Copies of this chain bind each other. A is one copy, B any other.
Amino acid sequence: MLSNNQQKKISKLVYKKYRLKMGLFVAEGEKVVNELLNSDYDYESIFSTNKTNENFFNLSIDEMNKISFLKTPSSILGVFKIPKNTSKIDFKNTIIAVDSVKDPGNLGAIIRLCDWFGIKNIICSRDSVECYNPKVIQSTMGSIARVSCVYLDLLTFLKKSKNKVYGTFLNEKSIYKCSLEKSGVYVFGNESKGISNSIHKYIDEKISIPYFNQRNKPDSLNIANASAIILSEIFR
Against B, the Cβ 8 Å flags (1 = close, 0 = not) of A195-220 are 00000000000000101111110101
Question: 9 closest Cβ contacts across the A-B interface?
Answer: A118-B213, A225-B228, A229-B232, A228-B228, A115-B218, A118-B212, A176-B236, A117-B212, A116-B218
- Complex Cα spacing A233 to B175, Å: 12
Give the residue name and chain of the B residue nearest to A120 (CB): B215
A146-B218, A209-B232, A224-B225 given. 9 additional CB < 8 A pairs? A105-B105, A109-B222, A112-B218, A112-B225, A117-B212, A118-B213, A176-B236, A232-B232, A232-B233
Cβ–Cβ < 8 Å partners of A143 in chain B: 218
How many residues of chain A have a CB within 8 Å of chain B?
32
- Complex Cα spacing A116 to B141, Å: 27
Cβ–Cβ < 8 Å partners of A222 in chain B: 109, 112-113, 141, 224
How many identical chains are in the complex?
Answer: 2
A2 at the interface (CB under 8 A from B): no
B115 touches A213 (CB 8 A): yes
A221 at the interface (CB under 8 A from B): yes
- Complex Cα spacing A74 to B235, Å: 40
B112 touches A214 (CB 8 A): no
- Complex Cα spacing A109 to B143, Å: 21
- Complex Cα spacing A176 to B232, Å: 9
B225 touches A109 (CB 8 A): yes
